[in-house]
């Protein structure tokens, strides 16, 4: 029987329509297919530079020596330092109460939750069970507390403050994450408000402990207030953050390897030819020799999708990010009511790799800078960071500095990868984060605690500057330098409701003698 020509024609047309629509609506799931059908709608078309005039000027601009001297000089003393260790005068009392917490979010949100959990256990005079880290829904990372942090060190440092156990006694072995996921349980506290007070825990959680001997608090992120807490509790939270939470030995060892390779690169990387040095720049090379800057390039798809800003990828990118929002958050994160220009004026657009590169160049970083890229995954891949790499040809990351065998234990583990970047960031001469977020907040506070240089981009200023399409390099550079003069590690005292993990003074720091 001969096929119907009309049916064949319809089938061919339908197949052609599918071939067009599939790579358009599902670029992530069908990337090989998408590459087979090149289209101006492809999400993975290389984004165009959004600030070409500034980029060309930055590539050919010579940075004065005095600018680099100011930039790389360490911070002077600001009159604050870590307080002397608290000396406990009484031993930790024995307790038959046990507190569990289940922490969601990424590594740095979980880190802050751990600090709060210790303080809550102190409030309740309860034994803390090593916190349970939930599987991250975006990164699908199942790393546990002891995969990331040195548990023995954690317990030892806090032994005079609270009682901590790795596991519950046998009589409470039923109290598991799976148990609480299957129904309403009287021992689970689900109602802890954001920024809960000491009184709330004493009134709502202590009676559960007294009745059952155990309480499991979930959700727990940001469930302890920063205001109106006794000074000893605030100091305890900082002790957890800055002293007790250290990474497991293999993370520290690999981190130290990365730091050594950044400070003492192979000799061929120091030749004048590789570093594009002219005779007058030899003094600059000697001044910054052995120094490096860490850039936390927070530009993954998850973050881009939270914004309604334009990132140079055109209509396809807007459609792809809108679809991602719908799939991941089921409509809980919507398109903004504001257009791109309004968002940029408000400083609410994440900086692209191109924009952070222009910021760094205006601040005084040259093409000889050893720049370590701390990032999980950049949305748009290598094409997205091409302009940044042109500005900073010595840019590296953990993958380019290590072998596959060295990275074996952290590969494909977002939390361990983030921990490694955190370790390197704490050893860097300068740290800068492209956009605010949990890692930015954690490192701003941690480095402030030790008076280390940390540059905080002025998102409002940069948004306005990047909207000005007629601005020249000299005007841009002067505006950037002036706007960031007091944003390079200046101690800022914590204001009401602000986090002690981002602003450790005055709660967790003391005046210098």
Q: DSSP characters for 59-92?
A: HHPPPPHHHHHHHHSPPPP-SEEEPPPPPPSSPP
Greater pLDDT, 313 or 1: 313
| Same domain assignment for residues 285 and 181 | no
> What is the C-alpha to C-alpha distance for residues 139 and 302, in angstroms, rounded to an integer?
10
| Same domain assignment for residues 261 and 189 | no
pLDDT of residue 85: 80
Whether residue 118 has pLDDT greater than 90: yes
Residue 156 CB partners (closer than 8 Å, separation 6+)? none
Q: Which band of pLDDT confidence, cut at 50, 70 and 90, is reported for residue 334?
A: low
- Tell me the residue ranges of DSSP E strands in 234-300: 293-296
- Tell me the residue ranges of DSSP E strands in 115-187: 127-129, 132-133, 164-165
Whether residue 35 has pLDDT greater than 80: no
From 205, 221, 244, the end of a domain falls on 244
Q: Which band of pLDDT confidence, cut at 50, 70 and 90, is reported for residue 5?
A: very low
Residue 488 falls inside a structural domain: yes
pLDDT of residue 25: 43
Q: Which band of pLDDT confidence, cut at 50, 70 and 90, is reported for residue 406?
A: very high
| Same domain assignment for residues 71 and 217 | no
Mean pLDDT of 356-368: 95
Whether residue 513 has pLDDT greater than 50: yes
> What is the C-alpha to C-alpha distance for residues 4 and 9, in angstroms, rounded to an integer?
9
Residue 70 falls inside a structural domain: yes
pLDDT of residue 331: 66
> What is the C-alpha to C-alpha distance for residues 458 and 483, in angstroms, rounded to an integer?
7
From 244, 259, 289, the end of a domain falls on 244
Residue 181 falls inside a structural domain: yes
| pLDDT tens digit sequence for 138-160 | 667 889 999 999 999 999 999 99
| Same domain assignment for residues 393 and 472 | yes
> What is the C-alpha to C-alpha distance for residues 406 and 254, in angstroms, rounded to an integer?
7
| Same domain assignment for residues 122 and 72 | no
- Given the structure tokens 């297919």, which residue do they identify? 33
pLDDT of residue 493: 96
| Same domain assignment for residues 219 and 253 | no
Residue 464 falls inside a structural domain: yes
Residue 216 falls inside a structural domain: yes
| Same domain assignment for residues 233 and 289 | no
> What is the C-alpha to C-alpha distance for residues 450 and 428, in angstroms, rounded to an integer?
12
From 208, 225, 244, the end of a domain falls on 244
430, 444 Cβ separation under 8 angstroms: no
Domain that holds residue 362: 52-78+248-299+350-511
Residue 28 falls inside a structural domain: no
Which among 37, 55, 57, 58 is positioned nearest to 47, based on CA atoms?
55
Whether residue 273 has pLDDT greater than 80: no
CA angle 430, 243, 511 (to 5 degrees): 70
> What is the C-alpha to C-alpha distance for residues 423 and 231, in angstroms, rounded to an integer?
28
Respond yes or no on whether the N-terminal peptide bond of residue 219 is cis (omega within 30° of 0).
Answer: yes
If one counts the domains in the chain, the total is 2
pLDDT of residue 327: 82
| Same domain assignment for residues 255 and 143 | no
User: What's the mean pLDDT when you consider all of the chain?
Assistant: 86
| pLDDT tens digit sequence for 368-397 | 999 999 987 888 888 899 999 999 999 999
Greater pLDDT, 503 or 11: 503
| Same domain assignment for residues 137 and 253 | no
> What is the C-alpha to C-alpha distance for residues 427 and 262, in angstroms, rounded to an integer?
11
pLDDT of residue 89: 60
Alpha helices in 3-64 (DSSP H): 5-25, 31-36, 52-60
What does pTM read for this prediction? 0.86
Residue 189 falls inside a structural domain: yes
- Given the structure tokens 């398109």, which residue do they identify? 335
Residue 122 falls inside a structural domain: yes
| pLDDT tens digit sequence for 481-492 | 999 999 999 999
| Same domain assignment for residues 400 and 431 | yes
Phi then psi dihedrals of residue 510, to 5 deg: -120, 155
Which among 419, 314, 362, 415 is positioned nearest to 44, based on CA atoms?
314
CA angle 495, 434, 345 (to 5 degrees): 75
pLDDT of residue 285: 61
Share of the chain above pLDDT 90, in %: 64
| Same domain assignment for residues 222 and 354 | no
| Same domain assignment for residues 202 and 267 | no
């Amino acid at each position: 029987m001969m096929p119907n020509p009309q049916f064949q024609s319809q089938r061919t047309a339908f197949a052609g329509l599918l071939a067009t629509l599939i790579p358009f609506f599902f670029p992530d799931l069908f990337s090989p297919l998408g590459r087979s059908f090149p289209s101006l709608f492809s999400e993975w078309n290389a984004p165009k530079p959004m600030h070409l005039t500034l980029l060309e000027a930055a590539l050919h601009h010579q940075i004065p020596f005095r600018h680099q001297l100011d930039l790389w000089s360490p911070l002077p003393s600001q009159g604050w330092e870590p307080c002397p260790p608290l000396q406990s005068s009484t031993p930790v009392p024995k307790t038959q109460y046990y507190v569990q917490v289940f922490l969601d979010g990424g590594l740095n949100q979980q880190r802050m939750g751990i600090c709060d959990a210790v303080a809550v256990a102190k409030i309740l005079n309860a034994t803390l069970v090593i916190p349970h880290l939930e599987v991250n829904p975006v990164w699908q990372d199942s790393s546990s507390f002891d995969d990331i942090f040195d548990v023995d060190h954690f317990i030892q440092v806090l032994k005079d403050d609270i009682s901590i156990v790795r596991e519950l006694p046998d009589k409470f072995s039923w109290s598991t994450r799976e148990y609480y996921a299957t129904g309403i349980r009287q021992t689970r506290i689900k109602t802890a408000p954001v920024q809960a007070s000491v009184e709330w825990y004493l009134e709502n959680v202590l009676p559960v402990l007294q009745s059952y001997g155990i309480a499991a608090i979930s959700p727990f992120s940001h469930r302890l207030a920063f205001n109106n807490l006794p000074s000893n509790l605030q100091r305890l939270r900082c002790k957890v953050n800055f002293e007790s939470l250290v990474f497991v030995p293999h993370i520290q060892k690999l981190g130290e390897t990365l730091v050594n390779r950044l400070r003492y690169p192979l000799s061929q990387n120091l030749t004048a030819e590789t570093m594009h040095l002219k005779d007058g720049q030899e003094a600059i090379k000697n001044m910054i020799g052995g120094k490096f800057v860490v850039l936390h390039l927070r530009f993954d798809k998850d973050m881009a999708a939270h914004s309604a800003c334009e990132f140079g990828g055109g209509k396809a990118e807007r459609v792809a990010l809108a679809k991602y929002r719908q799939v991941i958050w089921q409509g809980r994160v919507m398109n903004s009511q504001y257009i791109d220009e309004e968002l940029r004026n408000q400083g609410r657009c994440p900086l692209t790799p191109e924009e952070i590169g222009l910021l760094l160049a205006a601040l005084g970083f040259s093409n000889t800078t050893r720049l370590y890229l701390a990032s999980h995954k950049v949305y748009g891949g290598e094409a997205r960071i091409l302009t940044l790499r042109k500005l900073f040809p010595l840019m590296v990351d953990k993958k380019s500095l290590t072998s596959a065998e060295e990275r074996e234990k952290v590969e494909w583990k977002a939390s361990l990868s983030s921990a490694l970047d955190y370790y390197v960031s704490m050893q860097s001469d300068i740290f800068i984060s492209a956009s605010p977020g949990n890692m930015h907040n954690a490192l701003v506070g941690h480095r402030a605690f030790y008076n280390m240089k940390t540059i905080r981009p002025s998102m409002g200023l940069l948004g306005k500057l990047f909207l000005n399409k007629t601005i020249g390099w000299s005007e841009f550079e002067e505006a950037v330098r002036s706007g960031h003069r007091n944003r390079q590690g200046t101690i800022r005292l914590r204001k009401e409701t602000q986090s002690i993990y981002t602003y450790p003074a005055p709660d967790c720091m003391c005046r210098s003698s």
